[in-house]
Structure 1
Amino acid sequence: MKISFKNSSYLFLLILGLNMLFTSCSNDLNVTPKDDDEFLSETFFNDPDSYKQVLAKLYAGLYVGGNDGDASADIAGIGGDFSSYLRLIFLMQEVTTDEAVIGWGDGTLPTLNTQTWSPSNEFLYGIFSRSYYEISTANEFLRQTTDEKLTSRGVSNELKAEIQYYRAEARFLRAFSYTQLMDLFGNVPITTEDDPVGFFYPKQKTRAEVFAYVESELKDLQTALKASKTNEYGRIDQTAAKFLLAQIYLNSKVYTGVEKNNETVTLCNDIITTSGYTFANVPYRYLFAADNNRNGAQTETIFPIVSDGLLIRATGAGMSFILHASIGGSMDASASGMDGGWWGLRTRKEFVQSFPDATATGDKRGTFYTNGQSLDINAIGSFTDGYAVTKYKNVNANGTAAQKNDIPDTDFPMFRLSDVYLMYAEATLRGGTGGNLTTALGYINAIRARANATPILIGALNLDFILAERGRELFWECHRRTDLIRFGKFTGGSKLWQFKGGVQAGVATPAYRDLMPIPATAIQANPTLVQNDGYVN
């Protein structure tokens, strides 16, 4: 895909003194850009173009790990490829569940497959650090775009008005990062543009306090952001704020102990009926093709993480990781539009069995590669153990080639309307007022009709079905861990999958693993942080 500010963003060197969230005398513990000499002075903002460039950097941070693709990492001690936000979210949300397994032995990566991670896991430190890096960048942008500063620099009234939307987008991306932190780690610090720049220990907040902060921000952003579908493709609008708010409301019982299904129904109904986003009446595969920004799939994509094979030269980040890592064995990489495979990602037996077959006959969403692959995983390190997944392709919907075969063009659909349909149905089943089961059934059967799956009757519409259908519709879209926790099936023994708990057949795991541990490195840098129950630093 392409958005107008991309060229100026990915190679652009960021910002002035970012807020030192976790500072120590050892540079590799700093959740900051790795070279303080790269900080630019305030004179940087004398250029009117600088404001959009920094906003672009915030968006770019969702995909790449540095200012020059993989080559220049934002975060000390973590490579630009391994610290890609999308890559890390994928590891947390997919590899820890029944939907994915990864065969590589890098550091503590194998413990994500088996729910045996510890506070020393460097990938947990990666997602923790990346989230706070994005937050720090947003905070500094907000400090530098106050009315007072803009007036002092002689910024025109026209640009000032546009910068107000930039500020709202920065606040949304900050809220998105706090949502990831709240979901993964629970009790985390909150810092904003009002906090001092420099050395200090930010206070750790309860999960409920983080929820309240995110909720307040998203409520305000429903009017502060540009109206639905009036922003450039790839940038946030009011509907994205409503989506994220509906998402945290659906998970409110987990985060705060209080259900907010009524609020979820109201927001989902608003998005479905008034936002202008529409269900994409195209084959399911179009949603994950190289031209999914223009082949009809874009009508339901509320928040994409954008990709571009020419402009984003990041071989190990974002969609490049997801596509390369999912190719191996006897697979023809060119069929997915790629130059080769890394023999890493597959799915697990139990997830395959949620489909009527493994050949995409009874459900077009069941896109598995089975030739030379065994359904059972006997050795996680063997790529041919477990069916491969071919959901994403770096090929245009009509079969023509993408721009490049080493870096994909395929945009990642972080939020889409199909998920709103599913959230509406689930919240209605959970008792949300204002919801209608017949309406929910219609939404579910629209999703299934696109996949050529058999429609269901009202009697089959229950919470177990919703969890399974969310998996079939949204797999490998970074929702599964959160979904399983909400349904009480991530830990414990009510739902098992191969190698859950480190045993081939799968075993129950302790409930404290519904939360990830606060990384030990972060606690060393900020000793006021308290570790989550069950973990030992």
Structure 2
Amino acid sequence: MKKNRILILLCVILLGINSCSDDLETAPIVELSLEELLASDPNAVEGLVSRLYASFALTGPSGPASSDIVSPDAGEGAFLRAIINLQDFTADGMKNRWGDDGLDQLTTTSNWDRNNKFFRLFYDRAYFTIPQCNNFLQVLQTADFPDEENIVAETRFLRALAYYNIIDVFGKGVLATDENFGQSELLPESSRQELFDYVESELLAIEPVIRTTSNYGRANRYVVDMLLTKLYLNAEVYTGTPRWDDAAIYVNKVINEGGYSLDDNFIRLFSADNDASPEIIFPLIAESLTSQSFGNTTYLVNGNLSADTMPLSQFGAAQGWTGHRATEAWYGLFGNSAAELEASNDMRASLFWTDGHNYTMTDYRTWTDGFPSIKFRNTFSDGSGNPVDFSATDFPFYRLADAYLIYAELALRGAANTTMADALSYVNQVRTRSFADPIGMGELTLDLIIDERGRELNLEGHRRSDLIRFNMFTGGSYLWPWKGGSPNGTAISDDYKLFPIPVTAIQSNPNLTQNPGF
């Protein structure tokens, strides 16, 4: 369906598959020397680095039923599926009704424990990717090859991205690098500060040397700048020390140097032709035929659909999984009833299916309680497209609207090299793109920013981290439906700012210790 781009989701037959509960015993992707690979295939390096990118988009090398990690359901082990489960279902805007083992605990933000399979799958996915990057970096030292500096930088970025998610979700782990790859001794536990320092040093080292432009789906300097922005934006949560000024340095680079622009067509950002969007900074690529997955945007499209209450073909889907619905904590940002949503001039208010559904989520297990999100669809932005089982809509992992709202937040927090005038302009550009009314300077507050991030970015894997940064995730000052297992929400302890370390990880490496409260 898509043209003029690198097919990042290439499956390389040199891949080995293994469990990652032992963080140093992942089968390497490279079984031959680089010289042997290049002799047999000059494009081998490109194929191998593409396979590293695929770790963030696919579950395994042999179709939707294959998995790089041990999982009873291959789709559950996908990186994007884990991000949505841990970032959106645990927060205020989205809930799931399936009641799968472990998923109820996420969607109700209650009763988390070290045996929850979704924590293990996320940990294993990260510690599958990290050793693969380490092995690849070691092998790359053995021969000269085209574009060597950039390939190394991309690989280090992907490793840093995996570590960033360990920092955010678990707060600690082990620091496996290409320097200690393959050693027999169990690695010591590394603190959140130590992992933060490592990721920061890696990104600062590659930022000046990685290319400023790249093929679609590959990292470039501004993708690195976005990850640095995210790292510094959440630095106070991660390390206890705010780094607002540093975050502003890199978000300014993205905005002023990256060449991205807001997409005039908001719907296109979440449609099957979003590879043509000028707004997407870094996508996770999906394809409906050549790289099928139950874990990429198929999870978002099919999961929010049901043949019981919705026309599947309208959204390009052949299946509806009757699983996910938004809550009034999200669509309530646009109005207090379905009628108010329908009357809103904000295009984002129209991205919920209200027919046959109740505004209030009295029971998160009841499909008709809450509005399914139709933000993601598998049609083109003009509505054309044939229904298929798997989504071809790329996931906009980083996009410019996020950078604009980050800039505004930083300005409100007093970051150097930001102005309130620019902050207001960026917020209003995001709002008016969706036909929402512009705001005045007196309305530009941190409370508005967290609400605007919900209106613009929910179901894109940011919400839990945002709420934690705004001191709204734990405690009882901000409640949402089913927080703490209560229909109207109840207070939860600060322990829930981190997830428990999976029991399998501690069994594999006794140097790891459990997070408080678990």
- Does TM, scored on the shorter chain, surpass 0.5? yes
Please state if 1:40 is matched with 2:40: no
CA distance in 1, matches of 2:391, 2:89: 21
Instruction: Name the amino acid aligned to 1:322.
Output: L
Query: Corresponding residue for 1:176?
Result: 161
CA distance in 1, matches of 2:466, 2:101: 27
Q: Which of 64, 69, 72 is residue 75 of structure 1 equivalent to?
A: 69
Instruction: Name the amino acid aligned to 2:90.
Output: T
Partner of 1:413: helix, strand, or coil? strand
Q: What do residues 401-448 of structure 1 show as CA deviations (whole Å, max 9, x unaligned)?
A: 16x611121110000111111111101101111210011000000111
CA distance in 2, matches of 1:486, 1:501: 19
**Pairing of 1:49-60 with structure 2 (within 5 A):** 49-60=43-54
CA distance in 2, matches of 1:82, 1:51: 29
Partner of 1:150: helix, strand, or coil? coil
**Pairing of 1:71-220 with structure 2 (within 5 A):** 71-116=65-110, 117-146=112-141, 149-151=142-144, 160-197=145-182, 199-220=184-205
Q: What do residues 260-302 of structure 1 show as CA deviations (whole Å, max 9, x unaligned)?
A: 111122222222112211222x1211111110112xxx21111
Query: Corresponding residue for 2:375?
Result: 391
Query: Corresponding residue for 1:502?
Result: 485
Contact 1:374 1:384 in 2 (8 A): yes
Partner of 2:147: helix, strand, or coil? helix
Q: CA deviation at 1:71?
A: 2.2
Q: Which of 411, 418, 428 is residue 435 of structure 1 equivalent to?
A: 418
Q: What do residues 486-531 of structure 1 show as CA deviations (whole Å, max 9, x unaligned)?
A: 0011111111111110111110000111011111111111111011
Contact 2:30 2:136 in 1 (8 A): no
5+ long unaligned stretches in structure 1: 24-28, 152-159
Query: Corresponding residue for 1:327?
Result: 305
Contact 1:449 1:455 in 2 (8 A): yes
CA distance in 1, matches of 2:194, 2:157: 17
Q: What do residues 344-386 of structure 1 show as CA deviations (whole Å, max 9, x unaligned)?
A: 0111122211114322723111211011111122222221111
Q: CA deviation at 1:81?
A: 1.0
Partner of 2:123: helix, strand, or coil? helix
CA distance in 2, matches of 1:476, 1:111: 18
Please state if 1:343 is matched with 2:325: no
5+ long unaligned stretches in structure 2: none
Q: What do residues 222-242 of structure 1 show as CA deviations (whole Å, max 9, x unaligned)?
A: 122111xx2111111000011
CA distance in 2, matches of 1:360, 1:471: 19
Q: CA deviation at 1:313?
A: 2.2
CA distance in 2, matches of 1:439, 1:71: 48
CA distance in 1, matches of 2:382, 2:327: 30
Q: What do residues 197-239 of structure 1 show as CA deviations (whole Å, max 9, x unaligned)?
A: 1543122111111111111111122122111xx2111111000
Deviates more, 1:284-293 or 1:38-47: 38-47
Please state if 1:406 is matched with 2:389: yes
Q: 1:12 to 1:401 in 2, by over 3 A?
A: same
Q: Which of 297, 300, 309 is residue 279 of structure 2 equivalent to?
A: 300
Instruction: Name the amino acid aligned to 2:463.
Output: R
Query: Corresponding residue for 1:13?
Result: 13
Instruction: Name the amino acid aligned to 2:318.
Output: D
Contact 1:17 1:39 in 2 (8 A): no
Query: Corresponding residue for 2:503?
Result: 520
Q: Which of 199, 206, 209 is residue 224 of structure 1 equivalent to?
A: 209
Q: CA deviation at 1:41?
A: 3.8
Instruction: Name the amino acid aligned to 2:182.
Output: V
Deviates more, 1:497-506 or 1:64-73: 64-73
Query: Corresponding residue for 2:440?
Result: 457
Please state if 1:375 is matched with 2:359: yes
Q: Which of 218, 224, 227 is residue 235 of structure 1 equivalent to?
A: 218
**Structure 1 length-normalised TM:** 0.90
Instruction: Name the amino acid aligned to 1:291.
Output: D
Q: Percent identity?
A: 34
CA distance in 1, matches of 2:441, 2:25: 50
CA distance in 1, matches of 2:382, 2:511: 55
Q: 1:292 to 1:21 in 2, by over 3 A?
A: closer
Contact 2:407 2:418 in 1 (8 A): yes
Contact 1:65 1:79 in 2 (8 A): no
Instruction: Name the amino acid aligned to 1:141.
Output: F
Query: Corresponding residue for 1:469?
Result: 452
Contact 1:265 1:433 in 2 (8 A): yes
Q: What do residues 47-94 of structure 1 show as CA deviations (whole Å, max 9, x unaligned)?
A: 332211111111111111111122221112453211111111111110
Contact 1:376 1:386 in 2 (8 A): yes
Q: Which of 265, 268, 279 is residue 283 of structure 1 equivalent to?
A: 265
Query: Corresponding residue for 2:249?
Result: 266
**Structure 2 length-normalised TM:** 0.94
Please state if 1:250 is matched with 2:244: no
CA distance in 2, matches of 1:231, 1:212: 27
Q: What do residues 441-483 of structure 1 show as CA deviations (whole Å, max 9, x unaligned)?
A: 0000011101111110101101010000001111111000000
CA distance in 2, matches of 1:3, 1:54: 20
Contact 1:429 1:463 in 2 (8 A): yes
Q: 1:111 to 1:163 in 2, by over 3 A?
A: same
CA distance in 2, matches of 1:17, 1:334: 36
CA distance in 2, matches of 1:100, 1:451: 21
Q: 1:162 to 1:488 in 2, by over 3 A?
A: same
CA distance in 2, matches of 1:351, 1:266: 31
CA distance in 1, matches of 2:20, 2:361: 41
CA distance in 1, matches of 2:398, 2:230: 10
